Chain A
Amino acid sequence: MQHRRNLDGRRGNRIRTDVVCSNLMMQQRSRRPPAAMGFEDLYRREIGSLRTLAAGLTGSREVGAELAQEAMLRAYRDWDRVAALDRPGAWVRRVVINLATDVHRRSVRELRAVERLPVGEAQRPADPVDGDFWRALRALPTGQRNAAVLFYVDDLGVDQIAEILQVGSGTVKKALFDARKNLARTLGADDVEVAS
């Protein structure tokens, strides 16, 4: 019998023991279709990370929350296929990263177009994710940005990042190295020590 492994390599479905379901919640769950039950665990386990990933990548809390919800909606609609994967969590992360890449690309072009207009300040995204680190991260090229956000937000290893991004481990190592170097340069090299 082949056991499913989670992203962290542990066998079997991870069960959260810190969630105590109230009677009301149990009644709600009992009305849901059986197919949704595995999805519920995935949602509760991953939604926090997905929202953080998407917000960090897009620079907007609102958009990040929408993208995370959209990724989960896609997973639910295609749950038969997603549930059969070894790591559904990796699949939804890949969806979030693809969606965020599209949003980021579009927003960069829109911002450039707005900046060319002879009117005041360029519009900024609603509820922006500020902070030097996130601004510097969003300025990285796509590959470095995606690898770095998975590394920092989810604390994933090189192999796990490579699986999500569908690239080789060497590519991830190079992307992380370049990302650190670029972040150090952007954030000020004086107070930053870059590990090799």
Chain B
Amino acid sequence: VSTIDERGRAAATALRDEMTRGFDVEAGLDEVLRGDPGVREVEPDAPRRGWMLAAASVLVLAVVAVGGLALRDEEPASDTPAMVTPTTVETSPATTSPADTTIVPDEVAETTLVPDTAVDTTVQVVERTVRVADVVQVVEPRRTVLATAGFGSDPGDLGVEDCQECDPARPWAPIAIPFGPRGTVLIADTANRRWMLFEPENPDDASSPWSATETHWPDGVIVSSQPVVDQAGTVYAVMYGPLGSGGTNAYELWTLDWRELATPAQQASSTLDRQPADRADPETRGRRQCCGAGPAPGDVERAGCRGHAGRPRDGRRHCAHGSLGAVPDDVHL
């Protein structure tokens, strides 16, 4: 036994005493059994959700009140619907909600809030029932499903790693390539080590279905961050894997022509903190990466755990990696 070992064991004993002193094991256990998120859970913030509901309620009430004021006017009843006809604001699907898609034109408030005092100062109260459905218009989000991909490693599928022992790999967000009559969509399917290029089968036909072509990159290499594309169609992707000298793990910035994804146009060793990546961060060396060749198609291995690029089991949650988190079912593009 060396002196170092003695010092190490003494330090560990002291730290263990500190970490267990005052810690209520039963309370910690209860927290886990209750499923108390405690850490690293991404749930909607309850207070924020409450504020949003309150704001939506106030907005609806305001619309109803303004509508009521408008109906109080002595104008013929037939004009009323035109005055309170809502104006629809087109919003992106991600932000559309019934509460924020309807506004009432300003002239409604102006014509009803300023009565003609010279003629009659008496406020005429007209009782009329206004249904919320008449003044609030619900707009369905506009979306077009270009293609549908299942979970897995078959052609046309997108891989979602099923792994609890590490952060599971999942596809990176689609990137739009502005070429062709209807454009092209590229997805880095990192769990399956391939690019998935979605294009319309017949670019000249607007109703033509979209299909995917896949281009694999080397085994053991992953796309480590969201790829981007410039207006010339050059794709930039940070790759990580045994790319350093002597097969050490390293980062490389690849530039690829979107038409020739099989062969990078350039592979530049990226630098971290002004040093070559394969020497700058020793923590990244020797750590097994996802996307190693597994015993069966679609299997992936990392850091001693094995996952499968397939549909997650019921009740399984995935950590964030890419923007397709919490996909409940098939992925719609």
Closest Cβ of chain A to B168, distance in Å, is: 12
Within 8 Å of chain A (Cβ to Cβ): is B106?
A: no
Q: What is the number of residues of chain B that contact chain A, defined by CB distance less than 8 Å?
A: 48
Count A/B pairs, Cβ under 8 Å.
Answer: 153
Closest chain B residue to A50 by CB distance? B19
Q: Are A141 and B282 in contact (CB under 8 A)?
A: yes
Q: What is the number of residues of chain A that contact chain B, defined by CB distance less than 8 Å?
A: 63
Give the contacting residue for B286; candidates A67, A134, A143; CB below 8 A.
A143
Give the contacting residue for B19; candidates A25, A36, A52; CB below 8 A.
A52
Q: Are A43 and B283 in contact (CB under 8 A)?
A: no
Closest chain B residue to A24 by CB distance? B26
Give the contacting residue for A70; candidates B1, B39, B286; CB below 8 A.
B39
Within 8 Å of chain B (Cβ to Cβ): is A195?
A: yes
Interface string of A51-65 (1 = CB under 8 A from B): 110011000010011
Closest Cβ of chain A to B276, distance in Å, is: 15
Segment among A1-9, A99-107, A117-125 that sits at the interface with chain B? A99-107
Interface string of B1-27 (1 = CB under 8 A from A): 111110111011011101110010110
User: Which residues of A sit under 8 angstroms from B38, Cβ to Cβ?
Assistant: 66, 69-70, 73
Q: Are A195 and B16 in contact (CB under 8 A)?
A: no
Beyond A66-B38, A166-B303, whether A112 also contacts B33 by CB under 8 A is: no
Closest chain B residue to A19 by CB distance? B25
Within 8 Å of chain A (Cβ to Cβ): is B281?
A: yes
Please report the C-alpha to C-alpha distance between residue A141 and residue B248 in the assembled complex, in whole angstroms. 14
Beyond A51-B23, A66-B38, A193-B3, whether A56 also contacts B33 by CB under 8 A is: no
Within 8 Å of chain A (Cβ to Cβ): is B164?
A: yes
Q: Are A153 and B12 in contact (CB under 8 A)?
A: yes
Within 8 Å of chain A (Cβ to Cβ): is B32?
A: yes
Q: Are A91 and B165 in contact (CB under 8 A)?
A: yes
Q: Are A141 and B286 in contact (CB under 8 A)?
A: yes
Give the contacting residue for A98; candidates B4, B18, B303; CB below 8 A.
B303
Q: Are A194 and B4 in contact (CB under 8 A)?
A: yes
User: Which residues of A sit under 8 angstroms from B204, Cβ to Cβ?
Assistant: none
Please report the C-alpha to C-alpha distance between residue A134 and residue B7 in the assembled complex, in whole angstroms. 10
Beyond A61-B18, A76-B32, A108-B281, whether A133 also contacts B164 by CB under 8 A is: no
User: Which residues of B sit under 8 angstroms from A67, Cβ to Cβ?
Assistant: 39
Closest Cβ of chain B to A76, distance in Å, is: 5
Within 8 Å of chain A (Cβ to Cβ): is B99?
A: no
Q: Are A152 and B281 in contact (CB under 8 A)?
A: no
Q: Are A108 and B283 in contact (CB under 8 A)?
A: yes
User: Which residues of A sit under 8 angstroms from B19, Cβ to Cβ?
Assistant: 48, 51-52, 55, 61, 64-65
Which 3 pairs across A and B sit closest by C-beta, in order of nearness? A166-B304, A152-B8, A195-B2
Where the two chains meet, the residues of A that have a C-beta atom closer than 8 Å to any C-beta of B are 25, 28, 32, 36, 39-40, 43-44, 47-49, 51-52, 55-56, 61, 64-67, 69-70, 72-74, 76-78, 91, 94-95, 98, 101-102, 104-105, 108-109, 112, 129, 131, 133-134, 137, 141-143, 148, 151-153, 155, 165-166, 180, 183-184, 187, 191-195
